[in-house]
Structure 1
Amino acid sequence: MENETNYHGGYGHGNKRSFHRSGPTSRPQNKVCIYWQSGRCNRDPCMFLHELPSEHQTQIQDPSTSKRPHRQNLVWTNPAILGNQSKWGLGRHRDDIHNTNANPGRLNGAVGTSGGGGDRVCKFFLTDSCTFGDRCRFKHSWSMGDGFSLVTPLEGHEKAVTAIALPSGDKLYSGSKDMTIKVWDCKTGQCAATISTGCEVGCMISEEAWLFVGIPDSIKVWNTKTGMEMTLPGPVGQVYALVAANDMLFAGTQDGRIFVWRFNVATSCFEPATTLLGHRLAVVSLVVGGGRLYSSSMDNTIKAWELSTLQCIQTISDHSNVVMSLLYWDQFLLSCSLDNTVKVWFTNNQEQLEVTYTHTEEHGIISLSGMHDEQGKPVLLCSLNDNSVHIYDLPSFNERGRIFAKQEIRAMQTGPTGLFFTGDGTGELKVWKWSTN
């Protein structure tokens, strides 16, 4: 019995079905090439359409008429403040907010693998192993997208950059697992000083002239103007997160506790205040907003604490893996997790956090940072554990660019005049800038 060959050249498995083959240049009517839609078709000519029929274009541009079921809760609107337009323009047309699939495939497959080069970045370039050099059909670049560019790399750390801070206008501080803090001159881009910490830096923040550095079992404190230095004991294990608010310093530690110190103006010292208990595993992120302290942990939870009473008022268990980073922005709390999601939260009428939108990635998300671009539009930077940072417009979550690195980008920080900074697992620190050019 003659074998039956299917449309793509495979073989049947006992089912006697007849297949009508078209000629090499004929195209199935109105059939759009799925590989073209994802930017991966390398056939010329292709038997499928490399354009969207007009009826499909109308459906995509107008979600209200699309046959595809819409995802729910895509509008980041707090019912308690409905009718008030927020800074993120949440009062815009529904199309602008709901169409999270705009420009499908624009940056999909951004790292080159096969097929035509186009605007894809060479994956071998990212690992210093491309042998084609200038003849490579893929881009040799650390980023792709519009509106931002690499200013300069800052090299000097021998291990992963874990923290970045800007305590003054002309100095940049970076902490690393190589047990050092480097001070960079923002005018020259040169390393002005190297401070030995004696152990790995877990986190670092700046508050006015103060620089706080989390290390195992303590916190190092420097006043960058007076040179005063002190050590705050108490934590057990590595300090992974720091935040300051209301003359208090909060530190999230490896054993799941949050240590609190109050600043005494008379003595210019930080005095122990209390310890917040509740997380079962390490506290990896802290953020303050709306009169509350929010903490996330390796126990997959987020806790909300009233700043006035330091009491826990809510525990959230919506994430299914470690909640790596928190960001509070314009009445919204954003959380990211190794469960591949970014969740957007608002406070409902019962003063409880509630999810209003969930964005999903293909990889775990390890850090969040937010800023405004050169035109004043809000953008979100999401660092993924595939060694990339995805950059999104808010609130639509339309992707506008990516940044690549040799290893995970674990530290991100925003600066003045459109500058932002990334530090990766190899120890390299990069300076980026938003620009209209």
Structure 2
Amino acid sequence: MAIITTTKRTERFRRTTPPTCKYWLAGRCNRNPCGFSHSLPTSPSNVYYNANTTYKHSKKPDSSVEKMASSSAKKAINCAPKAFKKPENCALKAVECRPEAEAISVEKPSKCEQKAEAISSVEKPSKCEQKAVLIEKTADVEDVATVAKACVDKSRSICKYWMTDNCVDGDLCQNLHSWFYGDGFSTLAKLHEHKEAITGIALPAGSNKLISGSTDGTVRAWDCNTGRCVNMIHLNSQVTSLISEGPWIFAGVKNAVKAWNIQTGADVTLDGPKGQVLSLNVGNDILLAGAEDGVIYAWRCSFETPFKLVATLSGHSKPVVCLAIGCHRMLYSGSMDHSIKVWDLDTFQCTMTLNGHTNVVTSLICWDNYLLSGSSDCTVNVWVCTEEGTLEVTYTHTHQIAVLGLYGMTDAEAKPILFCSCKDNSVRMYELPTFLERGRLFTRQEVRSFQIGPGGLFFTGDGTGLLNVWKWLEE
């Protein structure tokens, strides 16, 4: 019988090799051919044959390879239609299997990779594929930093953890790590001596002192050059409003108004109000005080003779929160009863009542011929006088949070800027008359007071007792 000896064979894809002949190992095998291997066992490899192995039969080495190739081609062709039918699911699986697919050798690709390659040929990628691309991009640290920076640029709220020095995200935090954002202004100083909310800031005429009042029961005087507190007055009562007119300083407390003259040293107490004095204003030599009992008290003040109570303006059913004096000797008052009343200062009579808000009217300012009102109903109304002499709302700016105060001034370029203090511990800055947001200030608690200073300075006082000094930057 002819003996076929194999000298070279193609890969046969066999999982095991014939066992070694034990008689051959002992040198006593007399079989020819022998069904067992006459060689020592070797380590596994991709080629399962040995040059010294003899077999009874031999098959064409290319037959198994051709069958394997044809079966692989059929599977690839069958997978493609499935990928087109459900591209989203296949793409999602491809993303999930990606780490495993990278570990598999190139010679034997996985089904997930084959499906992913079939999907990549589609002209219009699915949503899942777009997400896969996004995942691949954000896997890089630099890309993550870029995406995070973009989120920070778009953010409009301050990081509450950064405010307490506890933020662990650092530059990757999606919220702001700054006390303000916007161009054209900066912060100069932070004065923190008050223990509670600052409710009034004043700059008396003829003095280099900044005066502040707080609900901690004190009035403090600050040196404008050094920023240090140089004097403090204990009133033993919460200061809920504070203004200055000429050399006089007025502070609203419970059941009274305290007055000081910084030039003569005079100290006066004006009795009459019932409850806390929540708002103060001076116009036409008349000191006006809005009290918790809903009444406005008016004192005639020539600043040379003693103050004299000349009128009490009754009309509001709840506390008077804010006062503003406009042209034509008119007084505007906002109350917790949701209304705005217009008073004639010559006759002390109410001429009209405005009902444009659905919640507490928290702030009023007069700007040229316009009246602006802010409310806890999250709106700012712009009122204009009609030909009939009435006031109508010409524009309403809506916020997502309650409005606490409105303040107006001009920037370094003489553009009118409206400051809008909100319940979310921020102050939004709008250019008028477009109401385009110019920037935003942030505090640990809401801003309760605002004051304009010389040379582009302005001051804000918040609920923590912090007094911030800001300045508009010249070009």
Same topology, TM > 0.5? yes
Q: 1:135 to 1:235 in 2, by over 3 A?
A: same
Map 1:347-386; keep pairs closer than 5 Å: 347-386=385-424
For the pair 1:269 / 2:309, whether they are aligned, the reply is no
For the pair 1:429 / 2:464, whether they are aligned, the reply is no
The residue that corresponds to 1:228 in the other structure is 266
For the pair 1:184 / 2:222, whether they are aligned, the reply is yes
Q: 1:310: Cα distance to partner? A: 1.1
Q: 1:363 to 1:114 in 2, by over 3 A?
A: farther
Q: 1:358: Cα distance to partner? A: 0.6
- Is residue 191–residue 468 contact of structure 2 (8 Å, CA) maintained in 1? yes
The residue that corresponds to 2:143 in the other structure is none
Q: Distance in 1 between matches of 2:360 and 2:188?
A: 33
Q: 1:284 to 1:151 in 2, by over 3 A?
A: same
For the pair 1:199 / 2:237, whether they are aligned, the reply is yes
Q: Distance in 2 between matches of 1:365 and 1:135?
A: 31
Q: 1:134: Cα distance to partner? A: 6.5
SS at match of 1:276: strand
Q: Distance in 1 between matches of 2:459 and 2:423?
A: 17
The residue that corresponds to 2:178 in the other structure is 141
The residue that corresponds to 1:281 in the other structure is 318
Map 1:37-436; keep pairs closer than 5 Å: 116-118=151-153, 120=155, 121-132=158-169, 139-168=176-205, 169-264=207-302, 268-290=305-327, 291-436=329-474
Deviations 1:160-185 (A, max 9, x none): 11111111341111111110011001
- Is residue 126–residue 404 contact of structure 1 (8 Å, CA) maintained in 2? no
Q: Distance in 1 between matches of 2:322 and 2:175?
A: 37
Q: 1:138 to 1:281 in 2, by over 3 A?
A: closer
- Is residue 337–residue 364 contact of structure 1 (8 Å, CA) maintained in 2? yes
- Is residue 430–residue 437 contact of structure 2 (8 Å, CA) maintained in 1? yes
Give the partner amino acid of 2:410: H
- Greater helix proportion: 2
- Is residue 148–residue 173 contact of structure 2 (8 Å, CA) maintained in 1? no
SS at match of 2:455: coil
- Is residue 256–residue 281 contact of structure 1 (8 Å, CA) maintained in 2? yes
Q: 1:346: Cα distance to partner? A: 1.1
For the pair 1:23 / 2:23, whether they are aligned, the reply is no
Q: What is the RMSD computed on CA atoms of the aligned residues?
A: 2.9
Deviations 1:313-345 (A, max 9, x none): 000111000000000011111000000000011
Q: 1:354 to 1:116 in 2, by over 3 A?
A: closer
TM (normalized to structure 2)? 0.68
Q: Distance in 2 between matches of 1:172 and 1:205?
A: 11
Give the partner amino acid of 2:319: A
Q: 1:114 to 1:240 in 2, by over 3 A?
A: farther
Map 1:1-12; keep pairs closer than 5 Å: none
Give the partner amino acid of 2:200: A
Q: 1:21 to 1:254 in 2, by over 3 A?
A: farther
Q: 1:221: Cα distance to partner? A: 0.5
Q: Distance in 1 between matches of 2:424 and 2:307?
A: 39
Give the partner amino acid of 1:285: C
Q: 1:253: Cα distance to partner? A: 0.2
Q: Distance in 2 between matches of 1:354 and 1:241?
A: 25
Asked which structure has the greater CA Rg, the reply is: 2
Q: 1:416: Cα distance to partner? A: 1.1
The residue that corresponds to 2:16 in the other structure is none
Moved more, 334-343 or 119-128: 119-128
Q: 1:139: Cα distance to partner? A: 4.4
Greater RCO, 1 or 2 (C-alpha within 8 Å, sep 6+)? 1
Give the partner amino acid of 2:340: I
Give the partner amino acid of 1:229: D
Please list every run of 5 or more consecutive structure 2 residues that lacks an aligned counterpart in the other structure: 1-85, 93-121, 139-146
Q: Distance in 2 between matches of 1:153 and 1:298?
A: 32
Q: 1:140: Cα distance to partner? A: 2.3
Give the partner amino acid of 1:118: D
Q: 1:133: Cα distance to partner? A: 5.0
Q: Distance in 1 between matches of 2:128 and 2:229?
A: 63
Moved more, 408-417 or 228-237: 408-417
Q: 1:131: Cα distance to partner? A: 3.1
Q: 1:244 to 1:125 in 2, by over 3 A?
A: same
Give the partner amino acid of 1:228: A
Q: Distance in 2 between matches of 1:363 and 1:231?
A: 38
Q: Distance in 2 between matches of 1:262 and 1:398?
A: 41
Q: 1:353: Cα distance to partner? A: 1.1
- Is residue 148–residue 432 contact of structure 1 (8 Å, CA) maintained in 2? yes
SS at match of 1:319: coil
